[in-house]
Amino acid sequence: MQGKRSGAWLIRYALERLPVPFTFGIPGVHVTELYDELGQSDRVRPVLVTHEGGGAFMADAVSRTAPDRIGALAIVPAAGAALAMGGLGEAYLAGVPLLVIAGGVRTDVPYRFQVHEIDQGRLVRAVTKGFWRVLRHVDIVPTIFEAYRTAVTGVPGPVFVEVPANVQLFRDEVPALPTFQPPPPPEAPDDMLIEEAARVLASAERPGIFVGWGAVDATEALVGIAERLGAPVATTLQGLSAFPGHHPLYAGMGFSPAAVPGAERAFRDCDALLAVGTRFAEIPTGSFSVRVPEALVHVDLDPQVLGANYPARVAVAGDSRVVLPRLLEALRDLKVDRRERREAVARQLRADKQAYREAWYRHDSGRRVNPARFFDALRAVLPDEAIVTVDNGNHTYLTAELFEVRRPRTLIVPSDFNCMGYAVPAAVGARLAHPDRPVVAIVGDGAFLMTGFELLTARRMKVGVVCCVFHDGELSQISQGQAVAYNRKTCTVIGDVRFEGIAQAVGARYVLLTGDTAAMRRMLQEALAWAADGDSVIVEVPIDYSRRTRFTQGVVKTVMARFPTGDRLRFVGRALWRRLWG
């Protein structure tokens, strides 16, 4: 017999046998015993956050940037779970594994209406892969092991384990503790499917490749396939780091009318498409405005994704890490090697990218910072292995169009759940997971105001991050849409925010970015040096948002074109009337 053990000790035992480097959360009465146990652990480090939502984003960043580990939360029930829901939803729709350990109300007393008493299962089921409520000590360790395997098997996602406070506090007899059995490796799909996919792609004259986050760990095979086919490669927003941005065949985010001109041109006459690890969701398809050829080869871990938005000629349910190397081998067997097309596509993309960049350079930003020059300066001072976290807003699409991502898992961004407030806590989580790598957050002023105080967590944990805050005093992504459709800005003007004061409040250094590209490089280099020494830095960027991204322009046109004719005329007429007559 193992003897008597408290539930909190058993939770700690289970977490120490999993790849859990940190737990994020805020202690409360329902998890005090658990935090006391975690405080004694030499394998799992508990991290105090300022908000459970920020803690969930930190855990998400651990999982996204360190695939051999998993982000975990240790939270109070009800309120803690509710505040973490934004991060759980983001991870759930993004396919990111998280492990949540939550307290629960006592089950050994006859009283109702306890503090935090709520059905947590009903609360979190929409944003988790699984929920477990553990009532017996003997079930704690195997349940946490099962939850972990659920989180990382198949389509990854968050899981939630509730352990009532009395089970954590008190001891009970536990037999010999189980050992952890890792999940089996992913299965390979049928050889005939792979061969059929290779034949479809090999027979096309102008194939293209579209990849999402699901392909982020298969970059080497992707590059080989693209070079053999001579195919341009576009990514989703979330999958920006799935293909190297400095590769000659990289086109950009998406290939719809909302994509950059080079990507739209490269895919215009595409007669076959290899899509990997993407659901053809709203953002990367430019609000579903892409033209997908009939010869679609769709590879995804989730069978429900295949054919959901666009019918696939060949649908392969499988892990890209297994499927793509085999597909590359099949193309080699077919002697596919289109050097001339590869060179022609690369040449056209190079010219289109240069033209697009020069158009940004020519834009007069006045006293504000030109976005293209900012991203040029940032790319010049960041090593390729640096991690960049991005928030939700206008800066998201500027980053997608103007920043070159060179290595897998070095840019993480909220996508389908589209939650603001992601970047700053995600930067803290990424830096904790990778203390030897620079981490930079790109965040709008509105998003920064949601979770910027997690820089206190960075200070407490003695890790430095650089937060580049794009400051224009508005929620610009929405305010730009309002300007087009309404010629008014309702509830999107933030007003003046003194970021230097916020920096002083959280103990961060402060930089106001001004000047030309060379000056920006010097200031950003200094900020990175401070962060390397453990100081967080708020870099205020008085950004010029007056030139709209291709994404914004394209999506507005697409959405408006789908309006019924009468309503479209009403919107256009109303905006024009307000423009002329105020």
216 contacts 408 by C-beta, under 8 angstroms: yes
Average of per-residue pLDDT values in the chain: 95
pLDDT at 1 over 60: no
Q: How far apart are CA 542 and CA 499, in angstroms?
A: 11
Q: What CATH architecture is 3-174?
A: 3-Layer(aba) Sandwich (3.40)
Q: Residues 402-420: pLDDT tens digits? A: 999 999 999 999 999 989 9
- CA 125 to chain CA centroid, nearest Å: 21
Mean pLDDT, range 439-446, rounded to an integer? 97
149 contact partners, CB below 8 Å, separation of at least 6: 182, 183
The structure tokens listed for 509 are 């250094």
Mean pLDDT, range 259-269, rounded to an integer? 97
395 contact partners, CB below 8 Å, separation of at least 6: 442, 443, 444, 470, 543
CATH class of residue range 191-351: alpha beta
Q: Residues 52-69: pLDDT tens digits? A: 999 999 999 999 999 999
The pTM of this model reads 0.96
Q: Residues 342-400: pLDDT tens digits? A: 999 999 999 999 999 999 999 988 889 999 999 999 999 999 999 999 999 999 999 99
Domain locations in the chain? 3-174, 191-351, 370-549
pLDDT at 107 over 50: yes
- pLDDT score for 416: 92
- pLDDT score for 582: 66
Q: How far apart are CA 273 and CA 209, in angstroms?
A: 6
- pLDDT score for 569: 83
Q: Residues 292-316: pLDDT tens digits? A: 999 999 999 999 999 999 999 999 9
Mean pLDDT, range 444-461, rounded to an integer? 97
Q: Residues 183-209: pLDDT tens digits? A: 988 888 889 999 999 999 999 999 999
| Cα torsion angle, 300, 304, 306, 310, sign | negative
| Cα torsion angle, 524, 530, 533, 538, sign | negative
459 contact partners, CB below 8 Å, separation of at least 6: 506, 507, 508, 536
3-174 against 370-549: fold identical: yes
As a whole number of Å, the end-to-end CA separation of the chain is: 81
Higher-pLDDT residue of 525 and 476 is 525
- pLDDT score for 2: 66
CATH topology for 370-549 is Rossmann fold (3.40.50)
